[in-house]
Amino acid sequence: MNNSVTNNKSAHAKRRADSNLGIKRQQQRPRLDMNQAPRIPVRSTLASRSNHNSPTASTTERLSNISASSITSNSRLSNASINSNSSRISASSSSSTKSMSATTKAKKPIFDKTKKSIPTWDTKGRLNQLQAQLTETSEEVNEIEKLQQDLESSLQSKDGMLREAMQKVTDLERTIQETEERHQDELDKIRERFVSKNRELIYSNERRKKQFAGFESELSTMEFEYRKTKRTIEDEERENTTLKTQKRQVEGSLAELDAATRNKRLKKKNLMSELTAAEEKSETLSSRIESKGQYIQELQRTLLQNEKLRRKDHDKLQELKGNIRVFCRVRPAINSKTEPNLINARFFGDDNESMELTELTSSTLGRTITKSHTFTFDRVFSPEASQKDCFEEISQLVQSALDGFNVCIFAYGQTGSGKTFTMQGPTFPTEETSGMIPRAVQQIYEVVQQLKQFGWEYNMEGQFLEIYNETINDLLGNSSNYGRIKHEIHHEKNGKTSVTEMTSVVLDSPSKVKLMLRKANQNRATGATNMNERSSRSHSVFTLQLTGRNAATGETTSGILNLIDLAGSERLSMSGSTGDRLRETQAINKSLSCLGDKL
């Protein structure tokens, strides 16, 4: 008997320690899976005497089922639907709180202290009293079961609404992810508290099972068991107080979650309104874009027709202006001391096409006579004219080359009159001093880019040769082969003229033109005379072949632009040329005379 009492005391002390540790472990225990919570079946002899309707066993099983169903419901919910979960938990918690509150108020203590104490020897009376207490406990359990059924039916009705809400909330997942994580942490804490409470209830049921077993096996220890049960009830009341505090905290958290959910729903509604407005605006813009696209296509067809008309009109205009045009450019004085006998020039005409030169001469009688000479050209450029002004007159001819015509522009004049400067520019050109060749290529690049919208694609290849002492040299070839390769002129049946063994360079960027001009200047023959310190001693010919094709219309064009810098004409009596310079001057004058005969 003493051993039994001692064992019961030890078991009771251990259970109290486990109960106290359960509260602490509730805060320290890591996140648990409800499906892994232990389920301890509760059976007792007293339960079998009550037609197997033990409230303790039924309560334990139902609590385990509640845990499993809660976890199953939670497993169905994705992280994206935490707001809907919060709403359901709030509603369920609210109703369960009211029911549990009413149940708590109506709950009576298992053992009424006011009742008359039954003597220890009255075993039957004590059993009847325990049976009455079990009946009251069964009624309370039935009320809890009914409350559970109400909660389950409420959860089932909410499932349909939840699926609809999940579909709508999907579009807001990215926006509310941070809120979801915070809510998930709070739900994890609630779940941990629930698991802890479930485990404590299981342990409590185990203790009661042992108590009932003790009532059946040792009726003599009933008074001790009564005191132990009383202490257990006091512990449970303290736990109940703790749970109420936790419940209030959970209710506060759920209220915050509910407010956050309402805010998210309001924000979602506003976003849906904005989305609807944006979709309407998008439809309006789409229709406008479609109409604009049709209008653009019509404009493109019109532009294509206008481009054809422009080509015809441009060709007619060039024919009206004349297939051969002569422009005169007057170089400004470099140094009045080295050029004392300057002639006064006057420029006039509606298009600056005339020039009058005035000089003072002496008659046979020694009188000073003023002589005037008037010359008329297609255009006269005064010393103040810039490179840009000169290029504006020949830019239309460059356009004709793109349209498929053969164009030839050459600079002719006395040594030192500025031919090379006009055609190529200075050694280190700027945007203002750039010559006709780089300006022509630049214009061609710009026009080619504009013609791409009409379906035109162009290929451009350049050649650069010189004629020195009646010999053709390739200025773009290897400098070590300069003068060693024999180049011949071929006149083809289609009317084109070509030179053999010439280096062709694909000019797909303006930078390549600059490199080509620099290399050609390095290879070109120059020399000093009495009339020019750096005189070009050869004729240079820059040939640009333009081949175009229109993918839309199937048209093809092939034009050639020849830009020529002739060697300077000079009088042998004034140039003072001897030796090689004399032979160069004779060859230059001979070729210029031949050119004059052809013109």
List residues forming the annotated binding site for ATP.
413-420
Whole-angstrom distance, CA of residue 135 vs CA of residue 496: 122
Whole-angstrom distance, CA of residue 136 vs CA of residue 374: 138
Residues whose CB is less than 8 angstroms from the CB of residue 29 and which lie 6 or more positions away in sequence, other chains included? 192, 195, 196
Residues whose CB is less than 8 angstroms from the CB of residue 525 and which lie 6 or more positions away in sequence, other chains included? 466, 468, 536, 537, 538
Q: Which two tokens stand for residue 331?
A: 């170089």
- List residues forming the annotated binding site: 413-420
Q: Is 476 helix (H, G, I), strand (E, B) or coil?
A: coil
CA angle 352, 354, 360 (to 5 degrees): 130
Range list of β-strands (E), 320-455: 327-329, 344-348, 354-362, 368-376, 379-381, 406-411
Q: Is 14 helix (H, G, I), strand (E, B) or coil?
A: helix
Whole-angstrom distance, CA of residue 558 vs CA of residue 28: 89
Q: For residue 381, how many other CB atoms are within 10 A of its CB?
A: 21
Range list of β-strands (E), 378-488: 379-381, 406-411, 456-468, 471-474
Q: At which residue do the structure tokens 């209030």 appear? A: 248
Burial class of residue 11 (count of CB atoms within 10 Å of its CB; 0-12, 13-18, 19+): middle
Residues whose CB is less than 8 angstroms from the CB of residue 483 and which lie 6 or more positions away in sequence, other chains included? 471, 473
Spatial contact of 343 and 291, defined as CB atoms under 8 Å apart: no
Q: Which of 489, 509, 487, 510 is nearest to 498 (CA)?
A: 489
Q: Is 547 helix (H, G, I), strand (E, B) or coil?
A: strand
